[in-house]
Chains A and B, each alone.
Chain A
């Protein structure tokens, strides 16, 4: 079944299916019903991270290092957890600036520097090329191996084949054609390649299913599950060692750490990852789901790596079969033709997915950041006079795709079998890791400059080239091996794998330490050396503060100048075509509610900025800037002016932030006011009641006074005895009135806190004795008996002497007032208890009804309302007394039953030692 034509036909059928998926997605997108606008499709498209390198190479690495393959997948899982902070920012920036690639992103951040964009592009191309060739190698190898069925022969043993019989060559050409069809349908590189993304997501599913199928088959088809498999492996001493992460295998602790860091950076800065994560992203919210879906995919595709690796090692004990091919050769050895075919398709999926996205990303970079800036500067080409450059742009991109794949093939032919799959992949990872300082620094550190980024990238790349790429070349036989063993010109310190004598590290760790040190050092050092220019300062602010900017970025606030509208229109039309340009202008007019902008002879800064952004989506920020500058009469802004504008902008941010705070404060204040108002209304009502009660209390004695005064006035003939009785009433009522007024004033002072207190140490026993003496007349009048139970000595308390006397007089006179004349008994007791002195005044009067015990301390509430004969009093005395006692930290209460009379008690805290001293 596995004849050559079957495999070729199946492969083409599969590619045809892919194309159908892509075609369908593109049609849906044109109809405005995007299929890729889904977090699930988005997450699947991110899985382009898992290439043929994962598909075949993970097993290869696991067969050598055991669990050493894991950091490559742990890294992305860790990194993606940080995406909410990092990637959200990059996404926001890229959408606002219509970023077309990673090179464009970095160039744009550092003042739209064409040079920087070019450098990034060159590094990316050189760094990624081996990785592309790796995919070609994987497809070609798997094809060759399957063709040998039922024999299992490693491709390396077959020897070199002529170019036209080399499957890798044809694979390269077919993939180039395929990529061109997918990737260059639209000119606007900032727009989404919906078909491509849909196809990639589909491929991610295919490779996952294929890998899970072979994994499950190895685990349960060949062996009796994982238990059996690992038990058998553990029985082999050589395999047992691999099951512990750091024991007896090539990967050390530092190796683990650096591999993890390396893959953390790779998931962000591999051009294809940047493409699917950033450029193709339809909605920032898709990140939320991708943050857990993508790690889940990583977990699933790694689940069977160890079982397959151990299964292969057990199955092919001689070492004659390359572990990189276990996924394929195990089914073949067991005559599982269909499964072998599925694996081949899965591997093809992994490889084509990577190649398509990677070459689209790189071709955009090559076109926008390498070729166009150069062409536009070459006056001899007279590009400025060409009416329509859109054809040229597409041509360059297509050419770049073919160029990249052929270059990849060339590398494959030349580098050959020097390295295992995993090692080649890691070299590429290390190359793109060099973008991290400039890119991450660029979105978090305002101080990073264009020169700093150039220096960092240059230094990092140089170290990478020297410590990773040259040794790879040396191993391929292009350089003498002595270069590795003794250093260049025999200088030991410069040995590429042990730079400056740092030996004992694996080559990736070694290269990462040195290149990152050089990169970050140069980036930070050079950035600090010179202040950034105007354009850099502006872009830095737009990037770093992207999540805080309330206004459209890069808007006219940072730019002054005008341009003739027709020239701007022609400029846009040259790159995007006449109809697209007209559409863009119409769009602008509609969004700004203006008449067609073409109608105005001079374009304002906003329109100029709009055209530049549109152009940036096609040719990148740096080129767009150059092109627009050529038609614009820009009034160059000095650094000072840009600074001033940025200050103003940040002031606006601060101001609007403050406004928000203010409005929140206002809202709180309003709520507070509303509550206060309600409280005031309540207080007003209480005050009203109080005034009403007070006036009632005042009217009562006044009534008697007025009535008797009038009686005395109208009846001069009254008997002397009666006259005297009436006059006495007037006098008593006048005294009552005076007392009442004084107490009202007292209450008012106590309640408003304006009362004056004269605190001193007082001996409560003495005070009680004095008060009893002062009220003895009252007791005599009602013929009541007073019993005192006072200890000889008591501790002192801190209080206002006069106020305490006031309290005691109130209690004693109340008590004597309520007892029955002639049979009254009042008992005064003083005790000390738990830090307090307690005074009880007990009487044998009618007592206080339980229902009234709570309210008699309220203002104008008198006991005795239920009794005949209202006692004389204002109804304020107890209220005042309680307030006084509470002021000094004590309590006042009444306990009573209607049988035993009432007992009023109060406490006062003992003076502290400090007060006594």
Chain B
């Protein structure tokens, strides 16, 4: 069964690139355009990994991350923060909220995919 990845991102072109890359790597991909939609999809789609943009409408990535980590049922869900906010303080905040990885934009596609693979080992 393909691993499920949720992309929560409001920039359509970035979504397009992520969708292409993850589908190419045989992940089951869904897209949320804002924070609230992202939480709904976490519940209904039950992804293994969420790629979470920080600056999203309605609910920021940080808030979505806090909700995920606050729900005992979702403890296994991996969270990768994806942000143009590249300051150390932002990264620390993301990791403190329980994100498993923090990737700054613009990112290297190879590095991004490597991190995704790392978070979703084939044998798990």
**Nearest-CB residue, chain A, relative to B36:** A868
Whether A703 and B105, one on each chain, are in contact in the complex, defined by CB atoms closer than 8 angstroms, is yes
Whether B58 and A714, one on each chain, are in contact in the complex, defined by CB atoms closer than 8 angstroms, is no
Whether A703 and B33, one on each chain, are in contact in the complex, defined by CB atoms closer than 8 angstroms, is no
Q: Does B46 contact A (CB under 8 A)?
A: no
Whether B14 and A707, one on each chain, are in contact in the complex, defined by CB atoms closer than 8 angstroms, is yes
Contact of B106 among A705, A729, A867, A868 (CB under 8 A): A705
Whether A707 and B109, one on each chain, are in contact in the complex, defined by CB atoms closer than 8 angstroms, is yes
- Residues of the B chain whose Cβ atoms lie less than 8 Å from the Cβ of A695: 84, 86
Assuming the A-B contacts A695-B84, A695-B86, are A707 and B10 also in contact, with contact meaning beta carbons closer than 8 angstroms in the complex? Answer: no
CA distance A701 to B105 in the complex (A): 10
Least CB distance from A713 to B in Å reads 9
Assuming the A-B contacts A695-B86, A699-B86, A867-B57, are A704 and B33 also in contact, with contact meaning beta carbons closer than 8 angstroms in the complex? Answer: no
Whether B106 and A706, one on each chain, are in contact in the complex, defined by CB atoms closer than 8 angstroms, is yes
User: Quick one: which of A809-866 are within 8 Å of B by CB?
Assistant: 864-866
Whether B105 and A866, one on each chain, are in contact in the complex, defined by CB atoms closer than 8 angstroms, is no
Q: Does A870 contact B (CB under 8 A)?
A: yes
Among listed B15-23, B64-72, B91-99, B115-123, interface-contacting one:
B15-23
- Residues of the B chain whose Cβ atoms lie less than 8 Å from the Cβ of A700: 11, 14, 84, 105
Whether A865 and B13, one on each chain, are in contact in the complex, defined by CB atoms closer than 8 angstroms, is no
Whether B11 and A708, one on each chain, are in contact in the complex, defined by CB atoms closer than 8 angstroms, is no
Q: Does B40 contact A (CB under 8 A)?
A: no
Least CB distance from A849 to B in Å reads 12
**Nearest-CB residue, chain A, relative to B18:** A707
Least CB distance from A831 to B in Å reads 36
Whether A708 and B84, one on each chain, are in contact in the complex, defined by CB atoms closer than 8 angstroms, is no
Whether A706 and B107, one on each chain, are in contact in the complex, defined by CB atoms closer than 8 angstroms, is yes
- Residues of the B chain whose Cβ atoms lie less than 8 Å from the Cβ of A864: 57
- Residues of the A chain whose Cβ atoms lie less than 8 Å from the Cβ of B13: 701, 704, 708, 729, 732-733
- Residues of the B chain whose Cβ atoms lie less than 8 Å from the Cβ of A710: 108-110
Instruction: Write out, one digit per residue, whether chain A residues 675-716 have a CB within 8 A of any chain B CB (1) or not (0).
Output: 000000000000000001001110111111111101100110
Whether A703 and B21, one on each chain, are in contact in the complex, defined by CB atoms closer than 8 angstroms, is no
Q: Does A504 contact B (CB under 8 A)?
A: no
Q: Does B85 contact A (CB under 8 A)?
A: yes
Q: Does B101 contact A (CB under 8 A)?
A: no
Task: Please count how many residues in chain B sit with their CB below 8 Å of the partner chain's CB atoms.
Answer: 27
Least CB distance from A376 to B in Å reads 92
CA distance A865 to B55 in the complex (A): 10
Q: Does A159 contact B (CB under 8 A)?
A: no
Question: Which residue, of B18, B21, B84, has the highest number of chain A Cβ atoms within 10 A?
Answer: B84
Whether A707 and B17, one on each chain, are in contact in the complex, defined by CB atoms closer than 8 angstroms, is yes
Assuming the A-B contacts A692-B85, A711-B17, are A868 and B109 also in contact, with contact meaning beta carbons closer than 8 angstroms in the complex? Answer: no
Q: Does A869 contact B (CB under 8 A)?
A: yes
Instruction: Assign chain A's interface to a size class.
Output: 20 to 34
Least CB distance from B31 to A in Å reads 12
Whether B85 and A868, one on each chain, are in contact in the complex, defined by CB atoms closer than 8 angstroms, is no
**Nearest-CB residue, chain A, relative to B55:** A696
- Residues of the B chain whose Cβ atoms lie less than 8 Å from the Cβ of A868: 33-34, 37, 57
Contact of A711 among B20, B57, B105 (CB under 8 A): B20
Whether A699 and B14, one on each chain, are in contact in the complex, defined by CB atoms closer than 8 angstroms, is no
Whether A870 and B11, one on each chain, are in contact in the complex, defined by CB atoms closer than 8 angstroms, is yes
**Nearest-CB residue, chain B, relative to A704:** B13
Whether A699 and B106, one on each chain, are in contact in the complex, defined by CB atoms closer than 8 angstroms, is yes
Least CB distance from B57 to A in Å reads 5
- Residues of the B chain whose Cβ atoms lie less than 8 Å from the Cβ of A711: 17, 20-21, 109
Whether A703 and B57, one on each chain, are in contact in the complex, defined by CB atoms closer than 8 angstroms, is no
CA distance A869 to B86 in the complex (A): 24
Whether A703 and B85, one on each chain, are in contact in the complex, defined by CB atoms closer than 8 angstroms, is no
Least CB distance from A148 to B in Å reads 112
CA distance A744 to B15 in the complex (A): 26
CA distance A327 to B18 in the complex (A): 120
- Residues of the B chain whose Cβ atoms lie less than 8 Å from the Cβ of A870: 10-11, 57
CA distance A868 to B21 in the complex (A): 24
Least CB distance from B62 to A in Å reads 15
Contact of B107 among A703, A708, A866, A867 (CB under 8 A): A703
**Nearest-CB residue, chain B, relative to A692:** B87
Contact of B105 among A692, A699, A732, A865 (CB under 8 A): A699
- Residues of the B chain whose Cβ atoms lie less than 8 Å from the Cβ of A866: 57-58
Assuming the A-B contacts A692-B87, A696-B55, A696-B84, are A707 and B11 also in contact, with contact meaning beta carbons closer than 8 angstroms in the complex? Answer: no
- Residues of the B chain whose Cβ atoms lie less than 8 Å from the Cβ of A865: 57
User: Quick one: which of B21-72 are within 8 Å of A by CB?
Assistant: 21, 24, 33-34, 37, 55, 57-58
Whether A704 and B85, one on each chain, are in contact in the complex, defined by CB atoms closer than 8 angstroms, is no
Contact of A729 among B16, B21, B24, B37 (CB under 8 A): B16
User: Quick one: which of A368-424 are within 8 Å of B by CB?
Assistant: none
Whether B108 and A703, one on each chain, are in contact in the complex, defined by CB atoms closer than 8 angstroms, is no
CA distance A473 to B84 in the complex (A): 114
CA distance A697 to B109 in the complex (A): 20
- Residues of the B chain whose Cβ atoms lie less than 8 Å from the Cβ of A715: 24
Whether A702 and B106, one on each chain, are in contact in the complex, defined by CB atoms closer than 8 angstroms, is yes
- Residues of the A chain whose Cβ atoms lie less than 8 Å from the Cβ of B106: 699, 702-703, 705-707
Least CB distance from A725 to B in Å reads 8
- Residues of the A chain whose Cβ atoms lie less than 8 Å from the Cβ of B20: 711
**Nearest-CB residue, chain B, relative to A732:** B13
CA distance A747 to B14 in the complex (A): 27
CA distance A173 to B55 in the complex (A): 111
**Nearest-CB residue, chain B, relative to A710:** B109
CA distance A710 to B110 in the complex (A): 9
CA distance A696 to B11 in the complex (A): 13
CA distance A588 to B73 in the complex (A): 95
Q: Closest 10 CB pairs between A and B? A: A707-B17, A699-B84, A704-B13, A703-B105, A703-B106, A706-B106, A710-B109, A696-B84, A702-B106, A699-B105
12 contacts between A and B (CB under 8 A): A700-B84, A704-B16, A706-B106, A706-B107, A707-B14, A707-B21, A708-B13, A708-B17, A710-B109, A711-B109, A868-B34, A870-B10
Given contacts A704-B14, A708-B13, A868-B37, 20 further A-B contacts (CB under 8 A): A696-B84, A699-B84, A699-B86, A699-B104, A700-B11, A700-B14, A701-B13, A702-B105, A703-B17, A703-B107, A704-B16, A706-B107, A706-B108, A707-B17, A707-B21, A708-B17, A710-B108, A711-B109, A733-B13, A868-B33
